[in-house]
Every structure is written in C-alpha cells, then in structure tokens.
Amino acid sequence: MTERIVIVGGGTGGSVLANDLADRLGPELDAGDVEVTLINDGPDHVYKPVWLYVPFGKREPADGRRALDELVDDAVDLRIDRVSEIDTDSQTLRFDGTEPSMEYDHLVLATGSTLEPEQIPGLVEGGHDYYSESGATALREELLEFTEGELVLSVIGTPHMCPAAPLEFVFMTDDWFRERGLREDVEVTYTYPIQRVHGNPHIAEWARPIMEDRDINVETFFNAESVDPDAETITSMEGTELDYDLLVSIPPHGGVDLIEEAGLGDDGWVDVDKHTLEAAAADNVYALGDTADTGVPNAGSVAHYQAGVVGQRLASEVRGRPATATYDGKTLCFIETGMDAASFVEFDYERPPSPAPPSEKLHWSKLAYNESYWLTARGLL
C-alpha cells in the first residue's frame, strides 16, 4: 500500500521538506511505495526577507517571488488549493471548493503566519508595514517623500516573523536618513511591548547601546492599543501616547484558523514536542516553522533546520525504522545594523546568542545568502 505524505504550506519549511523527501525517498517514490504531496494556497513561493530592503529602494518586490513549480522536485505532487478542514481522526483534509477530500498517512503543517493589523483600531488606516509585498511597496513611496518629522516603528505583534527585522529596520532607517543628510530633521522612535528592546535578553542587551549611540528613542512596555489616523497618534495600553508623522508597525500575527478548528493548538500554532516536532494532540502529524509552537524565533533558518529533522523522521517511519532525529533549537540570523554593515547570531536551546561585531563582510554575507536562497528552497543548500 502506498504511504501518503502530505505537506500543507509551500513556504520555506514546506518547500525544503518536499525537496528533502524527494531526495531521501527517491527509490520509494520511483517504486510507487510513497507519494509526497505539497499543498499551497497560491502558485508562488515568497521569500519574505527581501521586503526589508524594498522601502529603501534596494530590492524590488518581485525579487522575492518564484513559481513553486520551478522550485519543487518533479517527484512531488504540487497541488494549488486551500485546505479548509483537517480531520485528524479520519486523517483527511478537505478543501474550499468542490474538490474531493484527501486522505493522508503522515501530515506536516507548515502553514506559517498571517498579518492581523485589524486587531488594533486605526492601524490599517494609519500605519505602514514591510511585512507584506504591498506594505513594503507603499512604505517605499512614503519614505521617499519623508524629509522631516517623527518616524515611529512600533512592534505590536509578538511572536512575529523574523524577530530581528524591527531592529534592522530602525538601524537601516537611521543610516539611510544620515546618508541623505536628513537625520537631524527626523526623530526615530522604537517601541517594544516588554521591558527591553527585543524578546531575547542577549540580543536586547547588544542592541540597546547601538540605539543610544544613534539617538534612536526607545519606548518599552508599550503595548499598542489604538491608532488615531487623523490625530496621527498611537496609544498604548499603559497610557503612553506618541505623535507620529510616519508610523511603521510590526502588526499582530496569527496562524491559520484551521489549526485551532482541528484542535491542534491555540491561535493557529500547533502544540508540538520541541525536539521531535510531533503534534501533541494527534498522531501522524508534524508541524514546523512558524506553525510549530516551540518557543524559538519565527525565522526561515528555523524552518530550514526543522524540515531536515522532519524529513529524516518521516523517511525512518516509512521504512519501518525508529525515528531518532531531533531538533536542537538551532537558529541563525544576520542582523543588518545599517545600510552597509551587519551582525550575525547563531544559537540553540542550550546556547544563548552572542551577536558578532557588525562588519561590512557580514552585510555582504547576508546579501549573498539572499541571492542564493532559491538553492535552499530547492533543497540544495
């Protein structure tokens, strides 16, 4: 009988895993003993880190988009559809349209994060973001016209994709205005919802002095409650009100509803064993990337490493062997500290991050990785 492996979500984790399985299970796929299906709700794979550079005119939105059928191995059945229901008892997926349901033997959820700016009254009308293609493009137009005033970067949603990106944006913004001779006319303010400037205390301790050196204002314990687009103010639950001329936000994030509806976890995040990545509430279900509630950052590197672990475990299970591969929390991230310098961190469940001194070399290393990312998505790196 053919073993059916179904992956839902064609982002970094889903694409890397699909290609990983095509490589690991090549003989079984050729013999018809295994089927690997990748389901995505659109035809494209999007590399979201590119959007950080769009507001500064360094990249185009199209640079972060490729057709999935160009990235996924031919041995993988690619299906463009939207899953509307997961029934873990019958091990069945249902879809939005009239398509028949699909049964699975092994399910991997890599459904990622969604932006939910509507959670904050006034944010849709009064704020900008660079966490979407349209948002990054619109912000580029605003920045080009912005020559003086109050720029506020407010981190509203945690957890959020790429936890270092808010720091990167304010560091790059500061440098960008200095290069244009406008920094003295622009006040830059950064807000964060807890008592430090980043969720990880080691990264926060590293970043805070850089902010002070660059005259970047900081408001911690700032949990945004509402935005008044007419008055151009953002107000926190703690009662702090900030004026802005340009508001850039990291909007609230959520998972997909079908995760919670299936009883797999709250707010669209799957409760998993942080080492095996197996779902706690159902058998034969894995989750990875943003979808897996492991406590590690929602970063592409995490999805990449987790995909390798899940690939090894699934290959073992298909072959009737014990699944022994585990995820150790490995995360790595380049952190831009300006327009031409970056830092780098690597850490795991046991080792805390220790950011490297910023350098031009690390900046170019990040740009080189961005260019080579498509090899990662193909499972070649």
Domain 117-252 matching CATH 3.50.50.60: the answer reads yes
What pLDDT is stored for residue 301 in this prediction?
Answer: 92
- Please name the residue that has the structure tokens 């709700």: 41
pLDDT of 33 reads 97
**pLDDT score, position 97:** 73
Which residue type is seen at 30? Answer: D
pTM of the model: 0.95
* CB atoms closer than 10 angstroms to residue 195: 9
What number of helices (H) and strands (E) belong to the chain?
10, 23
Instruction: Kindly report the CATH number that applies to the domain delimited by 3-113+255-318.
Output: 3.50.50.60
Nearest to 127, CA basis, from 224, 60, 9: 224
pLDDT at site 266: 87
3-class DSSP state of 90: coil
* C-alpha pair distances (Å), 185 with each of 176, 209, 219, 229: 13, 22, 20, 22
Query: What pLDDT shows up at residue 297?
Result: 85
What letter does residue 373 receive in the DSSP assignment? H
Cite the residue boundaries of each domain of the chain with CATH code 3.50.50.60: 3-113+255-318, 117-252
Residue 282, token pair as written in the block? 């159902």
Instruction: Please identify every stretch of the chain with a pLDDT value under 50, giving residue numbers as ranges.
Output: none
